[in-house]
Amino acid sequence: MNSHTSQLLLGAGLALATSLIMSIAAAAIKYTASYVSIEQIVLVQYLVCVAVMLPWLMRKGLSTLKTAKPGLHLIRGLCGWLCFYTYYLALDRIPMVEAALLRNSAPLCVPLLVLIWLGYRMPDRQWLPVIVGFIGIALVLKPQGDSLSLWHLVAFASALTLAGSIVSTRVLTGSEPTNRILFYYFGLSALFSLPLALQHWEPIPLFSIPLMAGIGLSIWVIMWLYTRAYSYAKATVIAPISYFGVLFTGLLGWLFWQQVPDMMAVIGAALIISGGISSVWLGREAH
């Protein structure tokens, strides 16, 4: 086995591990939300991530946080925080597989955001899978016939804000080091989370504290694994594997909450996944 193949397999393995851990975290969030508020879970998540970053900050000093792009860090932090907050709210109210599926439609939203924000226009052929994916999103947004579910829209808001996080991160990485981007993201998100957590504060059962800490730590691990995966393999390999997270989340939802998607949601899932993978593949020259 040559080194290129080994790196490809390692990248694929890291991406698969990322999807599995994210799915387990989603199940832990849904379970924990029965005992504490989503807002408290989100706050603790980001406080744990900030704590993990503190040794790095102590080594480098406060001067390492100096940035010429505070506004862009603010946008990235707001988008990232809203992505997780809306996703967790949706997990608590709709079938896990549908929440995960709508969140994973973010790659379909990126071209629209890039067009509006950066003025970049994709070749016409790359819009076809985006259109196919959005047809799938429309099917998942109407899982009960003609009624449009508010919580499915909240889950789709997670995709839109994730797309904003992806685009702003791409712009920031042109001049900012990874750890600075992460620290501002975690720190700003903790600040955004605090008022809502105080407003929805509930007594925290002792048994849920390790769960909440584990959820927070898993977010750090997920970001580290995902970053490493991209260092070994291209987006054309990583993005399709990421959709295994939808499968893992669906299996956990079925095992623990007996959640089974209906036929419309299954057809929508097929269109979203095929559209997302095709979109990444057709845009491979840019990766």
pLDDT tens-digit readout, 162-218: 888 888 887 887 788 888 998 999 999 999 999 999 999 999 999 999 999 999 999
pLDDT at 238 over 70: no
Instruction: Tokens 């909440």: give the residue.
Output: 212
Evaluate whether 53 touches 183 at the Cβ level (below 8 Å).
Answer: yes
pLDDT band of residue 106 (cuts 50, 70, 90) is: confident
Q: Which residues of 168-190 are buried (b: 16+ CB within 10 A; e: fewer)?
A: bbeebeeebeeebbbbbbbbbbb
Q: How confident is the model over 94-98, as a mean pLDDT? A: 88
Evaluate whether 223 touches 26 at the Cβ level (below 8 Å).
Answer: no
pLDDT band of residue 287 (cuts 50, 70, 90) is: very low
The whole-angstrom separation of Cα 268 and Cα 116 is 26
Mean pLDDT of the chain: 84
Number of domains in the chain: 1
Name, of 23-37, 131-145, 271-285, the range with top average pLDDT. Answer: 23-37
- Look at residues 90, 82, 246 and name the one whose alpha carbon lies nearest to residue 153: 90
- 102 Cβ contact list (under 8 Å, min separation 6): 90, 137, 140, 141, 152, 155, 156, 158, 159
Amino acid in the structure at residue 125: R
Lowest mean pLDDT of 61-70, 241-250, 278-287, name the range: 278-287
Q: What is the pTM of this model?
A: 0.85
Evaluate whether 109 touches 163 at the Cβ level (below 8 Å).
Answer: yes
The whole-angstrom separation of Cα 138 and Cα 146 is 11
2 to 5, 8, 9, 65, 154: CA distances (angstroms): 6, 10, 11, 40, 45
* Count of helices and strands (H, E) across the chain: 12, 0
Name, of 2-11, 16-25, 110-119, the range with top average pLDDT. Answer: 16-25
Q: Helix 96-103 to helix 263-282 angle, to the nearest 10 degrees?
A: 20
- 128 Cβ contact list (under 8 Å, min separation 6): 278
The whole-angstrom separation of Cα 109 and Cα 161 is 9
Q: Which domain holds residue 202?
A: 3-286
The whole-angstrom separation of Cα 216 and Cα 210 is 10
Does residue 178 or residue 48 have the better pLDDT?
48
Task: Say which DSSP state 151 is in.
Answer: H
Two structure tokens written together for 287 = 């990766």
Instruction: Tokens 């994916």: give the residue.
Output: 133
